[in-house]
Amino acid sequence: MTAAPPTPTETLPYIYRWDRHGRKGQPCKVTARGSMNSCRVEFVDGYIMITSRNAVRKATTVAMTLPLAALSEKGRL
C-alpha cells in the first residue's frame, strides 16, 4: 500500500538541493529518516526517492505553501 502524493497546496517544508533526477530546487517533504544519514523524500508529483539528508534543506516560508501553478511559473517544477 502506498501513500497518496502530497497535494499541490500541502506544506512542503524542504527543498531538494542536489542535481539528481532533475529535482534540484523542488519542494519536498521527508516522510522517513533512516540510519546512516538517509531519508525518504516525496515530491508534489508523487515521486519518491531515498537520498542523503544532506540533499534537503529547510524551505523559506514563501516556498512552503505556494500552489503548484505558482511553482511552475517560477521554474521550480
Beta bridge partners of 56: 16
What is the per-residue pLDDT across 28-68, written as a single tens digit (0 to 9) for each?
999 999 999 999 999 989 999 999 999 999 987 655 555 55
pTM for the model stands at 0.66
| Helix, strand or coil, per DSSP, at residue 61 | helix
Contact status, residue 24 vs residue 31, Cβ threshold 8 Å = no
**Residue closest to 14 by CA, chosen among 32, 28, 33:** 28
Q: C-alpha grid cell for residue 23? A: 529535482
Domains of the chain, earliest start first: 14-73 (2.30.30)
The better pLDDT of the pair 66, 4 is held by 4
Cα(57)–Cα(1) distance, integer angstroms: 28
